[in-house]
Amino acid sequence: MKLAIYPGTFDPVTNGHLDILKRAASVFGTVYIAVAQNMHKNPLFTTEERIAMIQNCTSQYPNVKIDHFKGLAVEYAQKVGASVIIRGLRAISDFDYEFQMALMNRHMNDNIDTVFFMPHEDYTYLSSSTVREIVRFGGNVSEFVPGIVKNELIRKLRSNE
């Protein structure tokens, strides 16, 4: 069976991410959730915190592994022997950027394909940044993230109240 990576910052992991993961885990033999250490973003959670939350939320998937990487996802895919990069598409606005990235990745390594998954329609509007903003202003994100993630968001964003 094919090995795939699902790269992202996952800051934090949402039910939309987990929906894509569930779909990918049913198609591929092994899926690595590859937590990006992106120097251009200023993540709320450390890499270790993001990995711990993802581990807590994915224990029911025996074919899912969690790792982290710096640099290009296509290079990480090659390093772990993956032949597929998984990307989620929420809306048509995501497609242009993701299509460009897929073409660039193919140019860099034509042995690695990009496969797009669409989340359940309940999650098409959902993003990590939106979830963070809702919590920042005291809103309830219970339907958007697992309980452990909600608790960690509240701890981080409302600790000064």
Predicted confidence at residue 160, as pLDDT, reads: 57
Predicted confidence at residue 38, as pLDDT, reads: 74
Can you read off the two tokens belonging to residue 99?
Answer: 């299509």
The overall average pLDDT reported for the chain is: 94
This prediction's pTM:
0.94
Is the distance from CB of 17 to CB of 8 less than 8 angstroms? yes
Segments making up each domain of the chain, as ranges: 3-124
Predicted confidence at residue 91, as pLDDT, reads: 82
Q: How far apart are CA 11 and CA 110, in angstroms?
A: 29
Residues 6 or more apart whose CB falls under 8 angstroms from that of 87 comprise 98, 101, 102, 114, 115, 116, 117
Predicted confidence at residue 94, as pLDDT, reads: 84
Catalytic sites, residue numbers: 17, 41, 90, 128
Lowest model confidence (mean pLDDT) among 1-5, 14-18, 39-43, 140-144:
39-43
Of residues 158 and 157, the one with the higher pLDDT is 157
Q: Which CATH code, of 3.20.20.70, 3.50.50.60, 3.40.50.620, 3.40.50.2000, is assigned to 3-124? A: 3.40.50.620
Predicted confidence at residue 40, as pLDDT, reads: 77
What percent of the chain is modeled with pLDDT above 70? Answer: 98
Based on its alpha-carbon atoms, the radius of gyration of the chain, rounded to whole angstroms, reads 15
Q: Residue 81 corresponds to which amino acid?
A: G
Q: How far apart are CA 39 and CA 12, in angstroms?
A: 16
pLDDT of 105 over the 70 cut: yes
* pLDDT classification of 49: cutoffs 50, 70, 90: very high
**Can you say how many angstroms the Cα of residue 125 is from the centroid of all Cα atoms in its chain?**
15
pLDDT tens profile 51-99: 999 999 999 999 999 999 999 999 999 999 999 999 999 888 789 999 9
